[in-house]
Structure 1
Amino acid sequence: MDLKDDSSQHDSSLTEAQKDRIRKGKERALKIRQSRLTAHPYNSGDVVSIDKTTIKIGATKYKDTGGGFLLEEESENKDEEVPIVEDTPPIIESDRPACESCNEAISKSWLFDTFDVKVCDNCKDPETHKLITKTEAINEYLLKECDFDKRDPPLKFISKKNPHNVRWGEMKLYLKLQVEKRALEVWGSMEKIEEELERREEMRILNKTKKYNKKMKELRMNVRSSLFDRTTAASHTHEFGVDTYNSDDDTYNHECLICGYEETFEKM
């Protein structure tokens, strides 16, 4: 018996449902095989098929692994230009500045990189090289906005988020040593800065005292007006005595000789 007769005999022993299931399985396997070889999720205009397992997309070749993804092949063009990234050249030994504290050549310095201060990280002192905000510098050293960035050289600073509220603007932090030096350029000496601070404090206290005395004077006038007997006042004309000066609040007062009404006033 030949193979054809054997295959026919085998097929005849299968039911129609089994034959239909085998036929559908063959069709599904054929579709999967065709999709692996021809269907790729790329624009057909950019894809060039080289063979059954290799395609070219643009200038790059891909190998179809049959596992659902493509594997990029190494470029055959060895002369292709490679971008060159240049690192910052290292500091030459002879160009390295010396630390102002230890006189050793600086190898690493945050102060030098940030504020151009020749002090190495080992000699950096938290108190001596303290940072202050711009507001503190203005209030403590009486500097103006122009003294920070208009005078040469402009003062260097770093920016940090405001710790009180992240939605506020960033703070500018300056090196206190450089702020003091700039203040001496503006005022000439620390003594003059101290004198000006004292003068401004005295003016502040004086203005505050004047405002207080004015409010107290208005309060006293309102109280006296409320105590005045308008019925009595309408029945006669006041006859005031001698004016008396009050040096405490710079006012004058006089008293009616008939009804005793006392009036306080200011003289221009």
Structure 2
Amino acid sequence: MTETGGRVLTDAEKARIERNRIKALHLRQAKLVAHPYQKKNINSVAGEESVIKVQGAKYIDSGGGFLLEQAVIPTSGQPITTGAASTEINKVSNDAISIPITFEECLDCGDAFVESYLLSNFGHSVCDKCRDPDGRHSLITRTEAKAEYLLKDCDFDRRDPPLRYISRKNPHNVRWGEMKLYLLMQVEKRAMEVWGTEEELSRQHELREEQREVTKVKKYNKQMKQLRMEMRSSLFTKETKATHEHEFGPDTYNETDDNYTHTCLKCPYTETYEKM
């Protein structure tokens, strides 16, 4: 492929350049035979005022902003012969077609075309007149495709063939990163390659919805537990121990203090009290 200004020309661009060059050659041939702005008849002898010498070579001022070689103008009153010039130009035209023009067949209407928006950007062989930007050929962002079709980054970039995309500025904020837009038809096809059927894709959506609900409940319970700990930390215990009921033995009277004492039979707890 040819590089122009650091950019590689596509086959369609090279074909368009070649068609323009051939058209220019034919236009030049027509001007050599009869220039519309030339006052004198081209079959007559050219005047000295129309002949210009450039580095020893003679040229004819066509009056249209370019010069014609002297060889195409008859000399000594002889009539012009355009056969040689025409043959030479025809040879140039025939030899110049070195780049074959590849025509694509539209998948919708079957017409042949050279280039289109979907073919150039996504490799999808559909002509511009059959393109449906709001329907089948709509675009979808990478984030939306991952959420709706449960695709991973490797499904876009590493699975063969990698999905083609176009970059656009984020409409919500120009300072954010550029969006990657994919062709919806190709994203749906890739989803079927990953999940197999639409039923499986729906089942995966349901499973992930259930997991989200379980995670939401666990998060809620954790937050409530934390809130209780903050509000009633003095009463909160991680494990509730079984309560112990004392079984006291016989009372012992203390004459000095004038009170009674009894001790638990199951633990060393001793209680002192007064009888009213």
TM-score between the two structures when normalised by the length of structure 2 = 0.47
Structure having greater relative contact order (Cα 8 Å, sep ≥ 6): 2
